[in-house]
Chains A and B, each alone.
Chain A
Amino acid sequence: MQERVKLSDARINRDLLRSIFETPKWYLILVGSLGLVVLTGFAAAGYMINHGLGVTGLNRPVMWGFFITNFVFWIGISHAGVMLSAILRLVQAEWRRPATRAAEVLTVFSLMTAMMMPLIHAGRPWRVFYWVFPYDFARGVYPNVRSALVWDPAAVFTYLTSSILFVYIALVPDIAVLRDRSTGWRHVLYSILSLGWRGSVRQWKLQLIAGILLSAVILPIFVSVHSIVSWDFGSAMAVEGWHSTVFAPYFVIGAVHSGVSAVVTVMIILRWMFRWEDYIRLEHLDALAKLLIVVATTWFFFFILEFIFGLYSLEGPEVALREMQVFEMPWAGLFITFLFTGYLIPVPMWMFRKVRRSIGLMLFTTILVNIGMWLERFLIIVPGLARKQGFTFTWGGYTPSAVEITIIGSTFAMVSMLVLLFAKVFPLIPIGDAKEGMILQDEIRIGKVTVPAVMREE
């Protein structure tokens, strides 16, 4: 940890609370612009609901397109929170500290966005109430509990609830800091939210135990969420390329790959926006890039398994599907883009220390990953559906309409806007964690060299 600096508690408070107590012009312009894009998205969704799904590119046999791809994509991004926060907390990785809050917040907002996608996709979102309050059993208008499509909302809402709790528990000491530095309605709000936090030994102990327990409890939920999303596809027998036993871990590790990349992107942007160079340091990007090499390579191994065992049985329809994905345009173009952006460009680049410690290149590579991972979901979902039917005259294609593109684009604006709004109310780097990191950092002198060290158990 060569770049670390010793910061006083007062300096940490000042730096990390800057985003809350100061409102620069660019912030208002940025949030306003993002808000406009979000409004456009809502308008497009309203238009679609009014005119029906006919305004989208969805048609038989491809009835799952951009919306479901985007649903899987945002569920994937949500996996960053637990990966970085819960797992790195449990293994006590010291470099997790500046990344955890951003990752947790990204989890919450991307889950909310993800859940909007099936609602929009349904065309008539109010019908979701049939799932909650099935009104007419006689006509069979009730959810089939044996379907993975029903387990999905259960898993996602459990994950959302536990993620919100996770963010909140970690936030309590920071909210107390805000309470002590605010006045008026903000003071009242923070007083209520800080739950009487005084920073006593007992309170810290309880907060710590709650954090560890939640970390341990949230892990199986985290795994179950994307596994169940994968079974939306894996349990469908009629679509070539979907019925694969490796889908669950393949989806989970792919989600971690895209999620951690998204956190790096967000961290770099936050560092630049709020001048947090002393907190989000190059060593953190370096460590995250190393983690990404491992995650990406594991994901790539699962991709190879999925692909090879698709061909393994040498059954005609499956081979034809793979040939279409790899050799026929436009799928071939998308497939090559996915391979290069998802793995072949970023991972070799991350092998070099200079790249891992370059703000610009890390931003570039992590954005590439998410382009690739979005395409990966698209290529899993759409080509299989296009060749779903047995007869060639029932095959079809898919071209997204402007309405779909607008809605999808607005989801990216929405998550960005929500993160920025969160930053206006709560600190995006945990203050307590940053201070604890300062206390635990140490140095060891070996001969003429001073090596950075940390107090901790292993």
Chain B
Amino acid sequence: MHELHHPAPASYLGMTAQEITQDVLQRHESPGRQFWTVAAVLGGLFGLGIIGFILLLSKGFDDRNVWGYYASIFAYIFTVAQSAILVSVALRMVKAHWRRPFARISELFAAVGLFNFFLLIPLLWVLPSTEGRRSIWFEWPGHSPHIWDTIALGLLVVLGLALLYFAAIPDMAAVRDHTTGARQRRYQRMAMGWQGTPHQWKVLQVGISVLGGFYFMFLIFTHMMISVDYAMSLVPGWKDAIFPAFHAIIGFQSAVAIMLVTMFILRWKTGLRRYLEVDQFWGLGKLLLALCLLWFYFWWSGFFTYWYGRQPAEQSVLKFLMFETYKVPFFLAFALCFVTPFVILMWNIVRKTTWGPVLAAIIVLVGTFFNIVRFYVPAFSIEDSTLHALENVPPANIPGVADILVIVGALAGAVLAYMLATRIFPITSIWEMKEGLLLQRVRTFMKIQIKVLAKPE
């Protein structure tokens, strides 16, 4: 009965529903001066990114190599932020109560998804037609990826925003009921007449489940399209059935990592200590450990089949992406996405802290960046994608000033989009926390305090 070796019950369980509402709404109403200072700095960095983007634009769309790092940062934000919503979706599906304090933190990444959608637009001009080259679109018109990728990413963004909005309706009603003036009128419109009737609750639960399920499936589908159209199909000879699944695993891993880092910052800066406790970091730390192992397994499955096969075309791809041209980002990715976080997280004593999983998460996020770079930058550096196999391997593309400005600017823009979204939606899901109070009890069992969790149908 190792269930009994349990950390102290979450302290928000000692609060009343009213206290939670007051606490969250107070935090939501007045973010403090520091918030706006950080937002201004991020706005400045985003401005630098726009300068970098103009520098890239001045070089035109004909040379794909120029846009390699731009494509990488687009793919990085897609991989990390748009997968982060999945953390709340998946944990809600398995009815894990410990998700409650960070469910909204995860869903707010939908705002970053919207920002990232705009980053896709220039890439549509850079992506070549599929005529004469391998693609998953086979005999479809040459511009199929341009059309369908845009629709897929657009729908994913809409699904993410719908999930965020839908799951926040009861909280917006709470804001409406605790405020006055223009703010009240605004939230009254946003709450869409929410009164908390049994019918409304039922619709809410069903809606969240359906939107979450669709988001899950659509995310995997979009991972497949983006990873193949913007990376694999541009490299002659790279025919790798596991790559879309590996890309999705990278997404899941970095999603858990970004959640840990975001939770740590919010806990530290916005005083969410009563909600975001060791339980939450421990739970996500275990997930991150499992995903590190899955990262290795998926990478190994793809690598091994190529390496063992000894086919010249496949050996060239291995040399290009892993062992020669882009060996530095590959080895960094291997060390930072698998080896180091595994060594950190394999110890329960480290997992069961707030800092241990976060340290591993930061390392994973850096590793994921290099991993994405080693897929997209090489893919964009191939001049002729219609070849059967790689004949002349182009040299590594080293980032220039414009690339660095674009990377910094895009990251700043993503964080800024997230911060601004927190001004609209409370960072903590009030109704889920209150539901948690109803469905969890702390009881004494054989002299120790233990949590009792209800699992309604």
User: A: which residues have CB within 8 A of B?
Assistant: 1-2, 92, 94, 204, 208, 212, 220, 223, 227, 231, 234-235, 237, 243-249, 297, 301-302, 305-306, 308-314, 436, 440, 442, 444, 446, 451-458
- Whether the Cβ atoms of A457 and B6 lie closer than 8 Å is yes
- Whether the Cβ atoms of B245 and A301 lie closer than 8 Å is yes
| Chain A residue at smallest Cβ distance from B5 | A457
Q: What separation, in Å, do the CA atoms of A273 and B152 have in the docked complex?
A: 50
- Whether the Cβ atoms of B451 and A455 lie closer than 8 Å is yes
Question: Within B221-238, which residues are at the interface with A (CB < 8 Å)?
Answer: 224
Return chain B residues, CB-CB under 8 Å to A212: 2
Least CB distance from B361 to A in Å reads: 20
- Whether the Cβ atoms of A249 and B6 lie closer than 8 Å is no
Return chain B residues, CB-CB under 8 Å to A456: 3, 450-451, 453
| Chain A residue at smallest Cβ distance from B450 | A455
Return chain B residues, CB-CB under 8 Å to A247: 301, 305
| Chain A residue at smallest Cβ distance from B9 | A457
Return chain A residues, CB-CB under 8 Å to B301: 227, 245-249
Return chain A residues, CB-CB under 8 Å to B298: 249
Least CB distance from A373 to B in Å reads: 19
- Whether the Cβ atoms of B454 and A453 lie closer than 8 Å is yes
- Contact residue among B1, B3, B136, B443 (Cβ-Cβ distance under 8 Å from A308): B136
Return chain B residues, CB-CB under 8 Å to A235: 305, 308-309
- Contact residue among A204, A243, A311, A436 (Cβ-Cβ distance under 8 Å from B309): A243
Question: Within B269-311, which residues are at the interface with A (CB < 8 Å)?
Answer: 279, 283, 293, 297-298, 301-302, 304-306, 308-311
Q: A231-B304, A235-B305, A244-B305 are in contact. Are A309 and B453 (CB under 8 A)?
A: no
Q: What separation, in Å, do the CA atoms of A454 and B455 have in the docked complex?
A: 8
- Whether the Cβ atoms of B438 and A305 lie closer than 8 Å is no
- Whether the Cβ atoms of A245 and B6 lie closer than 8 Å is no
- Whether the Cβ atoms of A458 and B279 lie closer than 8 Å is yes
Q: What separation, in Å, do the CA atoms of A248 and B242 have in the docked complex?
A: 9
Return chain B residues, CB-CB under 8 Å to A220: 293
- Whether the Cβ atoms of B305 and A302 lie closer than 8 Å is no
Q: A306-B241, A312-B136, A442-B452 are in contact. Are A453 and B283 (CB under 8 A)?
A: no
- Whether the Cβ atoms of B245 and A249 lie closer than 8 Å is yes
Kindly name the residue among A309, A314, A454, A458 whose own CB sees the greatest number of chain B CB atoms within 10 A: A458
7 contacts between A and B (CB under 8 A): A244-B241, A245-B302, A309-B239, A442-B452, A454-B453, A455-B451, A458-B96
Least CB distance from B292 to A in Å reads: 13
- Whether the Cβ atoms of B241 and A246 lie closer than 8 Å is yes
| Chain A residue at smallest Cβ distance from B297 | A223
Q: What separation, in Å, do the CA atoms of A453 and B457 have in the docked complex?
A: 11
- Whether the Cβ atoms of B455 and A243 lie closer than 8 Å is no
Chain A CB within 8 A of B97 CB: yes
Interface size counted on chain B using CB atoms at 8 A: 51
- Whether the Cβ atoms of A305 and B244 lie closer than 8 Å is yes
Q: Which 3 A-B pairs have the closest CB atoms?
A: A309-B241, A246-B241, A248-B301
Q: A311-B138, A440-B3, A455-B3 are in contact. Are A305 and B305 (CB under 8 A)?
A: no
Least CB distance from B436 to A in Å reads: 11
Q: What separation, in Å, do the CA atoms of A428 and B224 have in the docked complex?
A: 43
Q: A245-B302, A457-B451 are in contact. Are A444 and B439 (CB under 8 A)?
A: yes
Given A244-B305, A455-B453, 7 more A-B residue pairs with CB atoms under 8 Å apart are A2-B457, A208-B2, A237-B310, A243-B309, A246-B241, A313-B239, A436-B1
Question: Within B1-15, which residues are at the interface with A (CB < 8 Å)?
Answer: 1-7
- Whether the Cβ atoms of A452 and B241 lie closer than 8 Å is no
Chain A CB within 8 A of B330 CB: no
- Whether the Cβ atoms of A458 and B242 lie closer than 8 Å is no
- Contact residue among B283, B310, B443, B457 (Cβ-Cβ distance under 8 Å from A458): B283
Chain A CB within 8 A of B181 CB: no
Q: What separation, in Å, do the CA atoms of A308 and B441 have in the docked complex?
A: 50
- Contact residue among A204, A244, A451, A457 (Cβ-Cβ distance under 8 Å from B3): A457
| Chain A residue at smallest Cβ distance from B445 | A455
Chain A CB within 8 A of B123 CB: no
Least CB distance from A252 to B in Å reads: 9
- Whether the Cβ atoms of B306 and A452 lie closer than 8 Å is no
Q: What separation, in Å, do the CA atoms of A452 and B244 have in the docked complex?
A: 41
Chain A CB within 8 A of B109 CB: no
Return chain A residues, CB-CB under 8 Å to B279: 458
- Whether the Cβ atoms of A234 and B305 lie closer than 8 Å is yes
- Whether the Cβ atoms of A305 and B241 lie closer than 8 Å is yes
Return chain B residues, CB-CB under 8 Å to A314: 134, 138
- Contact residue among A227, A237, A444 (Cβ-Cβ distance under 8 Å from B441): A444
Least CB distance from A14 to B in Å reads: 24
- Whether the Cβ atoms of B3 and A92 lie closer than 8 Å is yes
Least CB distance from A101 to B in Å reads: 18
Chain A CB within 8 A of B456 CB: yes
Q: What separation, in Å, do the CA atoms of A75 and B451 have in the docked complex?
A: 40
| Chain A residue at smallest Cβ distance from B446 | A439
Q: What separation, in Å, do the CA atoms of A394 and B404 have in the docked complex?
A: 58
- Contact residue among A2, A227, A234, A453 (Cβ-Cβ distance under 8 Å from B452): A453
Chain A CB within 8 A of B240 CB: yes
Least CB distance from B7 to A in Å reads: 8
Chain A CB within 8 A of B98 CB: yes
- Whether the Cβ atoms of B311 and A237 lie closer than 8 Å is yes
- Whether the Cβ atoms of A312 and B134 lie closer than 8 Å is yes
Q: What separation, in Å, do the CA atoms of A302 and B246 have in the docked complex?
A: 11
Q: What separation, in Å, do the CA atoms of A304 and B124 have in the docked complex?
A: 26
Q: A245-B302, A246-B242, A305-B245 are in contact. Are A455 and B443 (CB under 8 A)?
A: yes
Return chain A residues, CB-CB under 8 Å to B217: 297
Q: B77-119 CB contact bits vs A (8 Å, 1 = yes)?
A: 0000000000000000000111000000000000000000000
Q: B1-43 CB contact bits vs A (8 Å, 1 = yes)?
A: 1111111000000000000000000000000000000000000
Least CB distance from A397 to B in Å reads: 27
Q: What separation, in Å, do the CA atoms of A388 and B256 have in the docked complex?
A: 45
Return chain A residues, CB-CB under 8 Å to B441: 444, 453
Q: B197-241 CB contact bits vs A (8 Å, 1 = yes)?
A: 000000000000000000001001000100000000000000111
| Chain A residue at smallest Cβ distance from B308 | A235
Q: What separation, in Å, do the CA atoms of A1 and B135 have in the docked complex?
A: 48
Chain A CB within 8 A of B243 CB: yes
Question: Within B36-90, which residues are at the interface with A (CB < 8 Å)?
Answer: none
Return chain A residues, CB-CB under 8 Å to B241: 244-246, 305-306, 308-310, 312
- Whether the Cβ atoms of B309 and A455 lie closer than 8 Å is no
Least CB distance from A186 to B in Å reads: 29
Return chain A residues, CB-CB under 8 Å to B220: 301
